[in-house]
Amino acid sequence: MSERPRWDRIAGIVFDAVGTLIKPDPSVAAVYTAAARRQGVELEPEAVRARFHAHFQSDAVHGENGVLSTDEETERRRWRQIVVGVLPEIPEPESAFDELWEHFSRPESWRCFPDVAPALRALKLMGIELCVGSNFDGRLRGVVQGLPELASWVDSLVISSEVGYRKPHASFFRAACAHLGLPPEQVLCVGDDLENDVRGAIRAGLSGLVLDRGASGTLDLPQVANLTALVQSFSPWSVGRGPW
Ligand SMILES: [Mg+2]
């Protein structure tokens, strides 16, 4: 499982979205806390953050095709359940859900990490095909279109609710390879989630790389601390890749 990617073979990359390329700004905890406050409920942002983390991790909502299957309606159900779980005190959970759903659909609610635009540009110039592959839902299309750092460089977007299966299901990674037009052995998946982005990708025959922005360095998986390091990993192999 800890095998390094074969950099000379990689012709396409699937990037996870949240935590890898983008993050919510303001934070999820701040946005949920404000939504509760609008309904007269005061909560500690740190408590909200811990609740969100717990409810986001619990994967109890599935589509009609079993574990890890999904579609747009399933994702709405998932997020409704998360909102109710994180903010059980509020009197009108449905209106909070509508507000929060809308909030996170807007590009201005998200920010790219500073290393994203330079890295995507450098990888594109090396001739590497770039795909965003995410367990976000259809709202991600509008978010990506509204963030120039992504819209300028990303070739394709693969979203679990459109594929029918969430990461780490092999069907998701097969769909991503199909979008890139490449066999799995030429595709690298990069993300901040060990199971969803890396172990699942490796099981499906792709290469996997953990983006560990905290740089703990203790994983038994290939990892980088930022996207600049990812670009540098390619550099010895970049000669002859680009348009020059
Ligand atoms: Mg992520």
Q: Mention the CATH class of domain 26-108.
A: mainly alpha
Q: Which residues surround ligand 1, an ion (CB under 5 A)?
A: 16, 18-19, 192-193
The pLDDT, as a whole number, for residue 2 is 53
The pLDDT, as a whole number, for residue 241 is 59
Please check whether residue 87 is in contact with residue 80, taking contact to mean a CB–CB distance below 8 angstroms.
Answer: no
Backbone angles phi, psi at 155, to 5 degrees: -85, -35
pTM score above 0.75: yes
The pLDDT, as a whole number, for residue 160 is 96
The pLDDT, as a whole number, for residue 226 is 96
Architecture of domain 12-21+113-237: 3-Layer(aba) Sandwich (3.40)
The pLDDT, as a whole number, for residue 165 is 95
Residues whose CB is less than 8 angstroms from the CB of residue 148 and which lie 6 or more positions away in sequence, other chains included? none
Per-domain boundaries in the chain? 12-21+113-237, 26-108
Q: How far is the CA of 140 from the centre of ligand 1 (A)?
A: 13
CA distances from 167 to 150, 186, 198 (A): 21, 19, 10
Q: How far is the CA of 71 from the centre of ligand 1 (A)?
A: 19
Q: How far is the CA of 112 from the centre of ligand 1 (A)?
A: 13
Please check whether residue 9 is in contact with residue 238, taking contact to mean a CB–CB distance below 8 angstroms.
Answer: no
Rounded average pLDDT per 10-residue block, the chain, 244 residues: 81 97 98 98 97 84 82 93 96 97 98 97 95 97 97 96 95 97 97 96 97 82 94 75 50
Give the separation between CA 223 and CA 156, rounded to whole angstroms.
24
The residue length of the chain stands at 244
Q: How far is the CA of 24 from the centre of ligand 1 (A)?
A: 12
Q: How far is the CA of 192 from the centre of ligand 1 (A)?
A: 5
The pLDDT, as a whole number, for residue 243 is 46
End-to-end CA distance of the chain: 35
Q: How far is the CA of 53 from the centre of ligand 1 (A)?
A: 13
Q: How far is the CA of 21 from the centre of ligand 1 (A)?
A: 8
The pLDDT, as a whole number, for residue 219 is 78
